[in-house]
Structure 1
Amino acid sequence: MPNTGRPSRDCHLCRQRRVKCDLARPACQRCTKYGAQCPGYRDQQELVFRNADPTVVKKRKKRVPLPQSPSSSESSSSSSSSSDGGTFSAPNLTPNGDFVFTSSTDLVLANGVNCNALLPLTRPVFEHWTSHSIPILLDVYSNLDFIKNMYRDYTDDGPLVWAAHLFSRTYVTNLQYSTALSRDAYADTQRELGGYLGKTLNLVSEALKTPEGAQRDDILATVWILTNYELLVGSLTRTEVLSPWHLHARGLYSILKARGTGPLYTSKGRTAFWPAYSMVQIQALVSNTECPAESNEWLAAIERSLPLHPGEGLGVAISYFIMKVCTVQARIFNLLRRRDFPAASKEYPELFAQMKAAEQEFEDWVESNPIGNHVLEIYAISLYQSAIVKGYHVMQLLINFLTHYPPCPIPLEQLHEDRKFSIDAAQTAAQGILEGVPRVIGPLSSGQEKSPKMVFDALRVIWPLICVYVMTICRAEQRLAAEGLLFYIGRELGVRQALNTYPEGLTIPQEAKVPLGEVSLGV
């Protein structure tokens, strides 16, 4: 139930534990007795969240405004880079969709007017949150030129604007729902989000009915934002036919297919291609299917488009590797679903050799093309490592399957040796993912930075972490570490996908789960 009176003066931990605080300074005695460091107290000028009933708002406007202390004008919420290079301070969001500014500083950062010399506001200023949805989204994707260029070039009331409303509202709601919104307000928010989603999908659908629709960069960007919105609400690991994330990812493929190779010969076209194609490849890894048939043609066109962007050569090499892994895993799952022992024993040597050859080919490329230590390169390598984990996990399933087939021409000793090789390769890659993630979210965990732009960094490591957490080929401590990182991202950044990563059952034969001679542990 929302607060209707003065905010509690208790410290943050006491309010969270719902116990009485003694208000001692600088640290309360309850926290000391609890064995925890007192996190301190909130600003007493924080606004009280109220119901969105018009009569309540009307009464609130008639009340005598409370004076504000000078310190309130100096404080702000989380800060990050805005699209114009300044700083954007996210104001408070009330359940009725208003952004509330409690100081002149907040008002300055929201409307761009230089009011630093003004006295503190004597009453809150209400402004609907949609006027800030694009700045919030641009803060999240401040490191991605593709999205910044889209919102610079397309300023009309089109799908990009509605996608920004959908994404930003979801992001803010995810961060605040657990402590700031009542159930009724949350339900109202979900209805509001449904309206934004419907409006965005309708505009995209109408655009794609036109001959030039698939060629529009804003349509490609909108569908890509929708896939990231689905990560915020947590639908990546759902693989049913109508799963929204998978539908949007397949939509990205359809648009890339319709666009052809023409845009890939331009710098702008490749900038738009890579975020979309990366999502398409992740969808293939998740769904155990092959990458699009046009992948070779697309990547070959990029290789001919010299000079390549910094790091683009690495992207091409990793994309080729993922293509080969997806081909191998799709063939293996086809054999397992059919429970075809003879065909599996016949195709196994080729499949195992293809997996090892693809890995060796990439390692040879790295020797000739040293990789830097930039965050984007760390993310790219983690995607490569996730494909290793997934590929060798599926290979292990095939090896387990064949150990139960006595006529198999491959000696049992060889199968066990190949299984050990697969496990070692997968666990080494998993460790690489876990060691790389702190470089991405390290500033958040150290308290140095907590801004919207970290959401994008976190979104990019969600799939590699899920891969480690879900794949039973990884060591138990690795899966536990991945789970901890995922839940940390979910709590701190409001990415619901990180809180919704439980393993799902795969439709495979029982023989594929455990090799001959080992006892099942229920995995």
Structure 2
Amino acid sequence: MPNTGRPSRDCHLCRKRRVKCDLARPACQRCIKYGTECPGYRDQQELVFRNADPTAVRKRKKRTSQSPGVSGSPSSAASGTAYPTPVLSPNGDFMFTSSTDVVLAKGVNCNAAAPLTRPVFQHWTSHSVPIVLNVYSNLDFIQDIYSGYNNDGPLIWAAHLFSRTYVTNLRYPTAISRDAHEETQRELGTYLVKTLNSVNKALGTPEGAFRDDVLATIWLLSNYELLIGSLNRTETLSPWHLHARGLYSILKIRGVAPLHTVKGRMMFWPAYSMVQIQSLINNTECPPESQEWFDAIAQSLSPGEGLGLHVSLFMIKICSVQARIFSFFRRRDFSGASREYNDLLAQMKAAIHEIEDWMESNPVGNHMLEIYVISLYQSAIVKGFNAVKLLINFLTHYPLCSIPLQQLTADRDYCIEIAQTSAQGIIETVPRILGPLAAKGKDKSPKTVFDALRIIWPLICVYVMDICRPEQRLTASEYLFYIGRELGIRQGLNTYSTKLTLPPEARVPFGEHEEL
């Protein structure tokens, strides 16, 4: 019969020792600290059902029939297999307030479920994978990898890390106490170490870099860093940048062979996008293998890949120009900058015209992925032409510059105009990407998190680049703050810094004073 009491969910050893278990999967920390192997947990059926003699059954039925407020008819509930958004309880468990939630959490259809008389608490590790699957419900490769995946491996630890961070960010400080928050941080630290150790162990084997779950784990770790807001840390050993470099290293080892398969393509695009964004942020060249990879993709282009391919090729050119510009800044090379200025600006204009001609012949649709790719393209325009503007400022301080001041002024106005037009396009895209969240502030489903993660960088680009209009930067900052506060993506609150090492001449044109 159903067990209507609250049987212990602790592992076998913790129940035997009569100590509180932390319910972690696959092994509890109590057992690990105790120095022994965790023997595991009781079956779910054992927790839900128990044996009872006929006398006990009759007594229980009598008590139930006499209890006020308990109806024998089931209440209706919505059907479907959607995953719930759990509430984090003070003790760190996920709390569900109805039996429908519990059924949906397991991915089972439920047309009629009786309401529970009290909340049901389940340890958060039981639902970390469903939350990840909900957040990335539009990514087939994530769904495929987790399908049938075992309970031990880097992708499971990454799911625990990502899901707990997401729920904690979303609820703290209103849902959990400070002590619980500190305990959560310690717990997350443990899972981060387990994830990294598991990845390192896998990469230590010959086949490690070719494992799809390893590539997906590192990609998920880079998204986790956005949840905690580490993108603004641009030092060499910043975690986000390390993960982006790790993605590039794996793509380099895997080579072009996976790009001839549908699954390999699905894995490639999200990983390479992170790599290109890092190049854009750091003012460095894109990976030298990029052209070889895209040549392989172009040989058998799938429907919908054309836009992503051309935007990526465009970003390669923008990153190349940026890298050359900042090399002049580092060396304070006025003569070199003056000599190559016309060629650099011509490359930027040619790249713009080439992709615009392609888009005119291949109209972009309203699919969410296409909208995101366009916003990434627009962010590259903002970032790239901001670099050209800095170069123009730099050259106005060089008396021997071969470019007339009048031309430099006209080129500077051109850069500002095209960057501000692109920035406006990014801002106008946000309501379409975030949908009800941006319009009404009500949709906080986990799926919305992925859409918000994809628009974070374009919004940061508008916010921090002073080539954009003040009202555009203000609007971008408001969107970022809203995403950080309402969706728990801390990168929206800890925005990327523009404190670049620039020569003073690059900041403002000759004759103008830098605003404090």
- Shorter-chain TM-score category? 0.7 to 0.9
Q: Is the contact between residue 441 and residue 457 of structure 1 (CA under 8 Å) also seen in structure 2?
A: yes
Residue matched to 2:338: 345
Q: Which runs of 5+ in 1 are unaligned?
A: 1-52, 56-65
Decide which of 475, 479, 482 is 1:488's aligned counterpart: 482
Distance in structure 2 (CA, Å) of the matches to 1:398 and 1:113? 59
Alignment of structure 1 residues 331-410 onto 2, 5 Å: 331-410=324-403
Distance in structure 2 (CA, Å) of the matches to 1:499 and 1:69? 46
Tell whether 2:279 aligns with 1:284: yes
Residue matched to 1:473: 467
Decide which of 458, 464, 467 is 1:464's aligned counterpart: 458
Q: What amino acid sits opposite 1:233 in the alignment? A: I
Residue matched to 1:445: 438
Distance 1:473 1:438, change over 3 A: same
Tell whether 2:428 aligns with 1:428: no
Decide which of 394, 404, 411 is 1:411's aligned counterpart: 404
What displacement does 1:423 show? Answer: 0.6
What per-residue deviation string (whole Å, max 9, x for no partner) do you get for residues 178-236 of structure 1?
Answer: 21112111111111111111101111101111111111111110000000000000011
Decide which of 178, 202, 206 is 1:207's aligned counterpart: 202
Q: Is the contact between residue 75 and residue 113 of structure 2 (CA under 8 Å) also seen in structure 1?
A: no
Tell whether 2:299 aligns with 1:304: yes
Q: Which runs of 5+ in 2 are unaligned?
A: 1-18, 22-66
Residue matched to 2:320: 327
Residue matched to 1:508: 502
Q: Which has the larger radius of gyration?
A: 2
Alignment of structure 1 residues 170-319 onto 2, 5 Å: 170-305=165-300, 308-319=301-312
What per-residue deviation string (whole Å, max 9, x for no partner) do you get for residues 441-485 of structure 1?
Answer: 122133463311010000000000000000000000000010011
Q: Is the contact between residue 400 and residue 513 of structure 1 (CA under 8 Å) also seen in structure 2?
A: yes
What per-residue deviation string (whole Å, max 9, x for no partner) do you get for residues 353-402 of structure 1?
Answer: 11111111111111221111211111000000000000000000010000
Q: Is the contact between residue 394 and residue 506 of structure 2 (CA under 8 Å) also seen in structure 1?
A: yes
What displacement does 1:113 show? Answer: 5.6
Q: Is the contact between residue 154 and residue 218 of structure 1 (CA under 8 Å) also seen in structure 2?
A: no
Distance in structure 2 (CA, Å) of the matches to 1:68 and 1:171? 36
Tell whether 2:142 aligns with 1:147: yes
1:238 alignment partner, SS class: coil
Higher deviation after alignment, 501-510 or 388-397: 501-510
Q: What amino acid sits opposite 2:344 in the alignment? A: L
Distance in structure 1 (CA, Å) of the matches to 2:339 and 2:108? 72
Distance 1:95 1:410, change over 3 A: same
Distance in structure 2 (CA, Å) of the matches to 1:141 and 1:484? 25
2:116 alignment partner, SS class: coil
What per-residue deviation string (whole Å, max 9, x for no partner) do you get for residues 412-433 of structure 1?
Answer: 1111111111111100110111
What displacement does 1:91 show? Answer: 3.1
What per-residue deviation string (whole Å, max 9, x for no partner) do you get for residues 46-92 of structure 1?
Answer: xxxxxxx959xxxxxxxxxx98888xx9799xx9x9xxx61222332
Q: Is the contact between residue 67 and residue 122 of structure 1 (CA under 8 Å) also seen in structure 2?
A: no
Distance in structure 1 (CA, Å) of the matches to 2:501 and 2:76? 54
Residue matched to 1:44: none
Distance in structure 2 (CA, Å) of the matches to 1:143 and 1:391? 30
Distance in structure 2 (CA, Å) of the matches to 1:226 and 1:269? 19
Residue matched to 1:161: 156
Distance in structure 1 (CA, Å) of the matches to 2:239 and 2:69? 46
TM-score by length of 1: 0.82
Residue matched to 1:21: none
Distance in structure 1 (CA, Å) of the matches to 2:236 and 2:487? 29
Distance 1:485 1:174, change over 3 A: same
What per-residue deviation string (whole Å, max 9, x for no partner) do you get for residues 99-138 of structure 1?
Answer: 2233222222223566765543233332211110000010
Residue matched to 2:39: none
Aligned pair count reads 451
2:219 alignment partner, SS class: helix
Q: Is the contact between residue 104 and residue 110 of structure 2 (CA under 8 Å) also seen in structure 1?
A: no
Residue matched to 1:24: none
Q: What amino acid sits opposite 2:184 in the alignment? A: T
Higher deviation after alignment, 106-115 or 181-190: 106-115
Q: What amino acid sits opposite 1:290 in the alignment? A: E
What displacement does 1:502 show? Answer: 5.5
Q: Is the contact between residue 174 and residue 494 of structure 1 (CA under 8 Å) also seen in structure 2?
A: yes
1:289 alignment partner, SS class: coil
Distance 1:74 1:381, change over 3 A: farther
Q: What amino acid sits opposite 2:159 in the alignment? A: A
Distance in structure 2 (CA, Å) of the matches to 1:210 and 1:167? 25
Residue matched to 1:34: none
What per-residue deviation string (whole Å, max 9, x for no partner) do you get for residues 289-323 of structure 1?
Answer: 11000000000000012xx3332010110000000
Q: What amino acid sits opposite 2:474 in the alignment? A: L
Q: What amino acid sits opposite 1:334 in the alignment? A: S
Tell whether 2:508 aligns with 1:517: no
Distance in structure 2 (CA, Å) of the matches to 1:436 and 1:500? 22
Distance in structure 1 (CA, Å) of the matches to 2:118 and 2:153? 35
Q: What amino acid sits opposite 1:319 in the alignment? A: S
Residue matched to 1:120: 115
Distance in structure 2 (CA, Å) of the matches to 1:311 and 1:380? 11
Higher deviation after alignment, 384-393 or 511-520: 511-520
Decide which of 84, 91, 95 is 1:100's aligned counterpart: 95
Q: What amino acid sits opposite 1:312 in the alignment? A: E
Distance in structure 1 (CA, Å) of the matches to 2:68 and 2:419? 61
Q: What amino acid sits opposite 1:463 in the alignment? A: W
Q: Is the contact between residue 68 and residue 121 of structure 1 (CA under 8 Å) also seen in structure 2?
A: no
Distance in structure 1 (CA, Å) of the matches to 2:379 and 2:323? 16
